[in-house]
Amino acid sequence: MRVTVVGGGIAGLTCALSLHAAGFAPRVYEAARRVEAVGVGINLLPHAVRELAELGLDGELARVALPPHRLSYRDRAGRTVWEEPLGRAAGYRWPQYSVHRGRLQMLLLAAVRERLGPDAVRTGLLFQRFEQGAGGVRAHFLDRSSGLPVVDDADVLVGADGIDSVVRSRLYPGEGPPNANGVHMWRGVARLPHVLDGRSIVVAGGTPGAKFVAYPIEDPEAATADALVNWVLEVRHGPSAPPPGGPGRRVGAAEARAGLSSWNLPWIDLAALAERSPAVFEYPMTDRDPLPRWSFGRVTLLGDAAHPMFPMGMNGGSQSVVDSRVLAWCLARDDDAEAALRRYDGMRRPAVNAIVLANRDLGPEETIARAEEHGAALPAGEAERISTRYKRLTGATVTRVNTHPSWTVVPAVPAVPVVPAVAAVPADQEPLRG
């Protein structure tokens, strides 16, 4: 079965590795001319780390990431509202990892090229459209360097091209732009002394638009001096004063320092944080409405293309990893591609749609929002109830992660790298194969 993956981000690369482990030789197409180590921090929860470990990536992850031991919710003055252990400290067989997004992507890219071949990921190819029939699906790309059209024929097309997915827009042409909740995130990384014990994720504040998040994304014991810390400050702009420059605008050090100045957090030097961040960028907090279906014949969606969500509970990237593993499992168990995609859709979409809606209601961060409303920390039992409810919803309780059957498929014949089935010719001059 020939599988084409649109998008060479974390979701698309994990999908390629999952498909390869199940006996396929997928092809990945990325619009960027080069895949580079850019971005800020990301968290991989134990249910995602388990899946990456089963792909043989546990050693590489341990070398580039930090396993945080504690999640600490704080109020605006830095006082503790609620804390809970993370990863192995909470009883999981696998750690949680905090890691620089760029380092994670380069790790996955190296693994794809090593296992599937150096040409398994083709860059600079902008997806435009697809058409499908009983025998297969044809994807059309534009080569950004030559300007020539490129076509790819496959049995399955996977859209893993992010929140602004072009594949999704072809399936849902009237959907429009993402939903915004009015919150904007200033995101940066900086080298600083340890925050708390150097192994804590800190979420301070209360409701969206009044929060500060910080956590290390490299092991302080391995750093020569200060550790690399990921941070996020949420701000709100009034309806009459949208942020200048649009999404992804650069926030200057003086502006960042002014925005952080109203916070009093004794365990972090916020002025130094602003000064030591090489670049701070502002992004709106957005998601999209849950879809009634992801799979249409031989085409399906995965990751943020399928279920972009507000960043509550650190679940977006982790759910993308699980998507990839389940999709590969379904395709390996059924020779009928369309039936396999329907099964994947039924197994993943309702569960992840529920997470998208829960994150609109703050997910586990309901704890600090309610504490802010009441002016005091919630009783331990209430905070624990909120946390446990969210873990059950996301399939991430200790028992579930430690005991559920593996998605690993042992292929009958090991996959081997293949030459991409593409042609840089006008699409109307070549018949659809299949």
Q: How confident is the model at residue 208 (pLDDT cuts 50, 70, 90)?
A: confident
CA gap 126, 138 in Å, rounded? 14
pLDDT (0 to 100) of residue 433: 31
Question: Per residue in 300-346, pLDDT tens?
Answer: 999 999 999 999 999 999 999 999 999 999 999 999 999 999 999 99
pLDDT score at 222: 54
Amino acid 424: pLDDT: 42
The pLDDT of residue 70? 97
Residue 159: band (very low, low, confident or very high) from pLDDT cuts 50, 70, 90:
very high
The CATH topology of domain 179-287 is: D-Amino Acid Oxidase; Chain A, domain 2 (3.30.9)
| Across 106-118, average pLDDT | 96
Strand order in the sheet with 299-301: 121-122, 27-29, 3-6, 156-159, 299-301
Which amino acid would we find at residue 175? Answer: E
- Does the pLDDT value for residue 368 go beyond 50? yes
**In this predicted structure, what is the pLDDT of residue 373?**
86
CA distance 353 to 287: 11
pLDDT the model gives residue 374:
82
**Tokens for 297?**
């014949």
**CA–CA dist 97, 92 (Å, integer):** 12
Q: Decide if pLDDT at 223 tops 60.
A: no
Predicted confidence (pLDDT) per residue in 383-420, tens digit? 999 999 999 999 999 999 999 999 998 876 555 554 44
Kindly report, as residue ranges, where domains of CATH 3.50.50.60 are found in the chain. 3-39+57-64+100-177+290-363+406-423
Q: Is the pLDDT of residue 425 over 90?
A: no
- What is the CATH number that goes with domain 3-39+57-64+100-177+290-363+406-423? 3.50.50.60
Distances (CA, A) of 262 to 80, 98, 318: 18, 27, 33
* Poorest-pLDDT segment among 58-62, 132-136, 234-238: 234-238
Domain limits, CATH 3.30.9.30, in the chain: 179-287
pLDDT category at 38 given cuts 50, 70, 90 is confident
What is the pLDDT, as a whole number, of residue 240?
45
Residue 119 has pLDDT above 90, yes or no: yes
Query: Tokens representing 134?
Result: 């009983």
pLDDT in tens, 245-277: 556 889 999 999 999 999 989 999 999 999 999
Mean pLDDT, rounded, for 210-218: 94
What is the per-residue pLDDT for 46? 98
Find the range with the poorest average confidence among 8-17, 153-162, 411-420: 411-420
Q: Averaged over 116-141, what is the pLDDT?
A: 95
Mean pLDDT of 143-148: 96
Q: How far lies 264's CA from each of 75, 189, 205, 270, in Å?
A: 10, 19, 11, 9
The whole-number pLDDT of residue 41 equals: 93
Give residue 242's pLDDT band: very low, low, confident or very high (50, 70, 90).
low
CA distance 406 to 17: 16
